[in-house]
Homo-oligomer: A and B are copies of this chain.
Amino acid sequence: MKEFAVSLDPENRKPYYEQIYEAVRDAILSGRIPRGEKLPSTRSEAKFLSCSRSTVELAYDQLLAEGYLESQPYRGYYVCDVRDLYHLPENGREQTSSVPEEPLYPTEEYAVDFSPNGIDLEHFPYASMGRIMRGLLLDEGERLLRSSAPFGDGNLRQIICDYLYQSRNVNCRPGQIVIGAGNEYLQILLSQILGGGRRVAMESPTYLRAFRTFQNIGYPVEEIPMDREGMRADLLEKTAADLVYVMPSHQFPMGTVMPMKRRLELLNWAAQEEGRYIIEDDYDSEFRYRGKPVPALQGMDRSGSVIYLGTFSRSIAPAVRVSYLVLPQRLLGCLREKCGFYSCTVPAVMQQSIYHFMKDGYFEKNLNRMRGLYKAKHDFLLGELRKRPWVKRILGENSGLHLLAAVRTGMTEEELTADCRAQGIRMYGLSEYFLSGRPAFPEPVFLFGYGGLSREEIAAGLAALDGILGKE
């Protein structure tokens, strides 16, 4: 073909070669340059356009790379046969999607939210954490951005190991600790270590995120009822489960502390067969307001059956996204073989920041302050609930970040929740946490999370409930 015209525009932000590339591409796509056509040589086209030959070469190279042209040695550039392949359905499935747009920025809907996951971050040492992060980037930035050890930074694993031994009686070596981006990620990682085809036993009611994660993993879940000592371990032998997920030190949502005898029953169940494991989720053991924390199940394990799962979501903050597994020694080979090629999911700078936060004493200081703050909120809420004629019974005292209260009312849980919602109060009915069935209480039971609320907010929430329940 003859040379073709491209009006090269020096005012255009795009370089000349790109203007040529686009002109030729569009001409090929529209069919103006037919397939099989030989393009002018770079030399003659450059002369025609009064530009340098390398500009035209660059444009042709781009067209070659993208497959619009092919080069035949010593002959030149030819237009490829692309058009007949280009007739993809114009009104394909993509256009028929009717999924509503999800809001990019979540909005606050409630004046008072009794979420059991609420935490107090007003007093967090932001300046110290900011100083630590900036210092790390300046001093060790290159190392921290390069890469991270697959199971987590050695310093952090060591200091978590020490912390768990001192505070929770967890008995392990740093090599047994795996750092990951949150509990659910670690649950998934664990499923890759343990392999498919497992059956899980869970308490009911339970922590629903863990339940749903098991569903996504593809592990069938059997629910085991609870009594006042926690999961009915005697029922485990009647199931096909070879994995148990429990929260022995502070069950969510019931607040039950599993007594020694029940713990030993669980450990004995696991020790009976080689492939049985117990996942001990120790999500908020830091917050106990009377006596000292109950030691972890892991520390009593003699058969290498307990997989301990801990998190900084409550002891530091949820959005740092750092959790840790303590694996029994006998799973370490499998971990390395199957998952040793993964990069650690927590940014190295975040891991190092937490390490320094712990090493320099900020973690402990912050935890002690938070325990005091939460205890004060706990005591305030407990006192306020006790004054209420509509509170029939209070459960789950002295620990964690929520209380449960059975409410004397003629309404159902759903009705009361709806009435509260209309007044800007978000309530959490206990039945939401059951895998199936309902709570064994004659009256509705609600979780009152206080971690993220001020006294004023707690009082306002309860006052709204007074109004609703007083009208009955």
Contact = CB atoms under 8 A, between A and B. Distances in A.
A62 B80 CA distance: 80
B330 A345 contact: no
Given A137-B133, A260-B80, A93 B274 contact: yes
Nearest to A229: B67
Given A82-B260, A141-B126, A345-B185, A146 B317 contact: yes
A110 to B, nearest CB: 15
User: Copy number of this protein in the oligomer?
Assistant: 2
A167 interface: no
A90 B121 CA distance: 44
17 contacts: A58-B290, A65-B257, A66-B260, A89-B303, A93-B304, A94-B303, A94-B330, A97-B329, A97-B332, A104-B174, A130-B136, A133-B137, A144-B319, A145-B320, A148-B319, A184-B343, A188-B188
Interface stretch (A39-47, A261-269, A442-450): A261-269
Given A88-B271, A147-B319, A343-B182, A130 B126 contact: no
Interface in A16-66: 17-18, 21, 58-59, 61-62, 64-66
B147 A263 contact: no
Contact of A261 (B21, B81, B347): B81
Interface in A317-372: 317-322, 328-330, 332-333, 336, 338-339, 341-350
A341 B182 CA distance: 12
A188 B338 CA distance: 14
A73 interface: no
Contacts of A322: 347
Interface in A251-292: 257-265, 267-268, 271, 274, 290-292
